[in-house]
Amino acid sequence: MAEEPMQADAVPAPRRRVLKGVRLVFNQGRSTMSGLLRDISETGARVSVENSLVIPDEVILLFQDGSRKNCRVARRELRELGLHFC
């Protein structure tokens, strides 16, 4: 039995490992939390935080250079978030 080829949308975007400080902005810009960017791809990022349970499902990821990405939380662990860029 031949295997079916994977669909193009099922292949994750290649991730690039990084260790950079970032800020998570939420609560309509009234709240922020520091995080450590662990890896990033075209479609999302993995960020370590002190406590992910206080972070809502939608945040802005603010990079050190001032650029920002609107994100949705795709995966949540106590000290780590998987973010999908919107």
**Using one digit for the tens of pLDDT, what is the confidence trace for 45-77?**
999 999 999 999 999 999 999 999 999 999 999
The β-bridge partners of 85 are 71
Coil vs helix vs strand at 79: coil
pLDDT over 70 for what percent of the chain? Answer: 86
Per-residue pLDDT, 66 = 94
Separation of alpha carbons 40 and 61, rounded Å: 12
pTM of the predicted model as reported, rounded to 2 decimal places: 0.81
Coil vs helix vs strand at 45: strand
In the predicted model, what is the mean pLDDT of residues 34-55? 96
Give me the amino acid identity at 82. Answer: G
